[in-house]
Amino acid sequence: MANVVILGAGLMGSAFSTPLADNGHAVRLVGTHLDDEIIEEIHDSGIHPRLRVKLPAAVSPYSYDRLGEAMAGADLVVVGVNSLGVEWASFMLGDLLSPDIPLLMLTKGLEGDGERLHLLPELLRSGLPPALHSSVQIAAIGGPSIAGELAVRRHTCVVITGQDRDLLERLAALIRTPYYHVWPNTDFVGVEVSVAMKNVYALAVGIVGGLLEKEGTGDDGYVMHNLAAAIFAQGLGEMAYLVEEMGGDRATVLGLPGAGDLYVTSMGGRNGRMGRWLGLGHHYIDAKKKYMAAETIEGAELALAIGPTIEEMVYRGKLDARRLPLLRAMIQVVCNDALARIPWDDFFAR
């Protein structure tokens, strides 16, 4: 049995407690400063108010100000904050971590500094005390995993990625269950880029829902699967290009972190709902304020985090604009408040 700390009591962090608890581990679920109501409800009833499921009895809730208490005797720390909370997580963990406690990231995203793109594990590492920069081990989970399905033990297939295969095998054994299927994958760059980029391309696929709503299905009942499939395929091609440019294996895009994760994310959720508003003709800023003000739209947050850097890299010739027409169109929508437009004539360039 291991003592596992999960930092972040949102949907995925909390759902991840289920396979851990089912494997007999003691799970300490620590909320962020935004999770106080969630932690209070779990403490009172055991039910996660957003997942609407009762968490296993082995899951103990902690407020963020009790993180030091939760970290006592920890064997593993799982980082389940959203992409905007990575620096906060580094700050909170910095004085409590020791080199022998690995970090397992559920958080997905990339950051741009105006010159290049960075993986979020790099950002997390850089925020830790210098003594931990080279010693702390970081792995990550990637693949199609809807939190609610995992929380109720639906079959879920993911990869665990990092640079130390022995660590990956050890962590996979901790979390693998008859319904949570885990495969080690040492293509850390390929996995992390794929699982991040899928959010912005799922936002693009979601536009089809709004376009269909505007045009209607008509008497024949036909919808727009052809259109959604073309956007999906273009997204995969652009992901493969970016993975390769950042030093990863483009084959990873064809597996669970790329095609698998893009598929499940395109089936619904916050990216899809925002995409619908964009397809209906709304500007992103207006739609966010009016319809989804309290929700984090990961595809949009990614566009904001990397958009200026992508454009600068294109300008400097570090990226080929012909290979990224859909990404650049979505950057215009989110960063510059342009109306949604599908750049058909620029698709599938080689």
Q: Domain residue spans in the chain?
A: 3-186, 189-346
Using a 10 angstrom Cβ sphere, with 0-12 exposed, 13-18 middle and 19 or more buried, the burial of residue 71 is buried
The DSSP bridge partners found for residue 157 are 181
What residue type is assigned to position 339 of the chain?
L
**pLDDT tens figures, 244-274:** 999 999 999 999 999 999 999 999 889 999 9
The two structure tokens encoding residue 101: 């406690």
> What's the fold here for domain 189-346?
N-(1-d-carboxylethyl)-l-norvaline Dehydrogenase; domain 2 (1.10.1040)
Our answer to whether residue 288 is catalytic in this structure is: no
The CATH number of 3-186 is: 3.40.50.720
pLDDT by residue, tens only, the chain of 350 residues: 899 999 999 999 999 999 999 999 999 999 999 999 999 999 999 999 999 999 999 999 999 999 999 999 999 999 999 988 999 999 999 999 999 999 999 999 999 999 999 999 999 999 999 999 989 999 999 999 999 999 999 999 999 999 999 999 999 999 999 999 999 999 999 999 999 999 999 999 999 999 999 988 767 788 899 999 999 999 999 999 999 999 999 999 999 999 999 999 999 889 999 999 999 999 999 999 999 998 999 999 999 999 999 999 999 999 999 999 999 999 999 999 999 999 999 999 87
As beta bridge partners, residue 6 has 29, 78
Sequence-separated contacts (24+) of 72-76 with Cβ below 8 Å: 73/3, 74/3, 74/4, 74/5, 74/28, 74/101, 75/2, 75/3, 75/4, 75/101, 76/2, 76/3, 76/4, 76/5, 76/101, 76/102, 76/104, 76/171, 76/174
Pairing of strands 156-161, 138-142: antiparallel
Q: Is-same-fold flag (3-186; 189-346)? A: no
Q: Tell me what pLDDT residue 222 has.
A: 85
In this predicted structure, what is the pLDDT of residue 218?
Answer: 66
Q: Which of 54, 108, 198, 290 is catalytic?
A: 198
CB 67 within 8 A of CB 30: yes
Q: What is the DSSP letter of 4?
A: E
Tens of pLDDT along 22-80?
999 999 999 999 999 999 999 999 999 999 999 999 999 999 999 999 999 999 999 99
pLDDT at 215: 86
- Nearest one of 323, 267, 334, 328 to 299, comparing CA atoms: 334
